[in-house]
Amino acid sequence: MLQGDQVVEEFDQDDLDDDESFFQDIDMLQSQGINAADLKKLKQAGICTVKGVQMTTRKRLCTIKGISEAKMEKIKEACAKLEEGGFCTALEFADKRKAVFKLSTGSSELDKLVGGGIESMSITEVFGEFRSGKTQLSHTLCVSTQMPGSNGYAGGKVIFLDTENTFRPDRLRDIADRFGLDQSAVLDNVLYARAYTSEHQFELLDFVAAKFHEEPGVFKLLVVDSIMALFRVDFSGRGELADRQQKLAQMLSRLQKISEEFNVAVFITNQMTADPGATMSFQADPKKPVGGHILAHASTTRIALRKGRGELRIAKIYDSPNMPENEATFAITAGGIADGKE
């Protein structure tokens, strides 16, 4: 399904008319009497759409330079007017959900496991021990996202946030070859940033939101590889755990909002830890993802990876309330993630 000789060009906004109704640019608030200078201040703080304002608390809006409490109330009111209170019928909601798309992982077995692919408007987390394929899967998604698919999916650009310095553009070249895509075009459609601290990682999300807003409907995927690495360095010991979890919660909440605001898929990788308590109690699965309940609740879909023979890897849905606990086998190949031959 994914093979093809298409050459990926720069994605053009004009091809993406459908997305227009999806984005209510913050400039629309001018019709409600909010002046352009104030709207610019919001944009500089990474708030670029009407939805973005509604996703931001009054408290945080007031921390933006030049936004007084009175102004903030006026802005909130203007948004409420445009959104008619935020209610819609289930039928209308179903219509909005039609915009949700799925991205292929490169392995049809793995796609099947997660219900057809990595879904937009939600966070998908993959975790597993070292060399289990998390980074390779992230790289493959950077390319597969650019493939036009069924349901009118046009293919799109990607932002990759790298916290471990393991992003390799040359891997994208190999994967592009496998999908029959032009190497340079593929690389040109992936925006890359390296995060050095957990704070930096959070700040970069303002840039991400601004970029998604600048080219509405063009970006389809945000990768964070890995979500926890910097948090584990920046916060150490029990004493800082509560602080870490609070910051992590803010980060994940922002990611969730970005995925909904701009209709993109958010794909995060996570490390795992051997739980010393679990070994003591002879639990069957002593290894679990780090990040605790905060991460568990933030991720819509959690996939556990483990190593199989040679290039083979086994994926399993972890902790899902509505998906069967099936497994899928895939392979790490020169061309990225693919179906495993057993």
Residues that bind Mg ion (CB under 5 A): 134-135, 166
Contact between 135 and ligand GTP by CB under 6 A: the answer reads yes
| Phi/psi at 244 (5° precision) | -60, -45
Judged by CB under 6 A, the residue of 299, 333, 338, 340 near ligand GTP is 333
Q: How far apart are CB 135 and Mg ion at their closest, in Å?
A: 3
Cβ closest to Mg ion, residue 263 vs residue 269 = 269
Contact between 106 and ligand GTP by CB under 6 A: the answer reads no
Cβ closest to ligand GTP, residue 310 vs residue 324 = 310
Cβ closest to ligand GTP, residue 13 vs residue 165 = 165
Cβ closest to ligand GTP, residue 83 vs residue 339 = 339
Touching ligand GTP, residues 114-133 (CB under 6 A): 128, 130-133
Touching ligand GTP, residues 145-174 (CB under 6 A): 166
Residues 190 and 160: beta-carbon distance below 8 Å: yes
Number of residues that bind ligand GTP (CB under 6 A): 13
Cβ closest to Mg ion, residue 43 vs residue 139 = 139
Among positive and negative, which fits the CA dihedral 166, 171, 172, 173? positive
Q: Distances from the Cα of 265 to the Cαs of 16, 21, 116, 127, 229, in angstroms?
A: 17, 19, 13, 17, 21
Q: How far apart are CB 328 and ligand GTP at their closest, in Å?
A: 16
322: CB partners within 8 A, 6+ apart: none
Touching ligand GTP, residues 309-328 (CB under 6 A): 311
Exposure class string for 85-124: b at 16+ Cβ within 10 A, else e: eeeeeeeeeeeeeeeebbbbbbbbbbbebbeebbbbbbbb
Could you tell me how many residues make up the chain? 342
Q: How far apart are CB 68 and ligand GTP at their closest, in Å?
A: 46
CA distance 205 to 181: 29
Cβ closest to Mg ion, residue 167 vs residue 179 = 167
Contact between 339 and ligand GTP by CB under 6 A: the answer reads no
Residues 210 and 197: beta-carbon distance below 8 Å: no
**Footprint on this chain of ligand GTP (rule: CB under 6 A):** 128, 130-136, 166, 311, 332-334
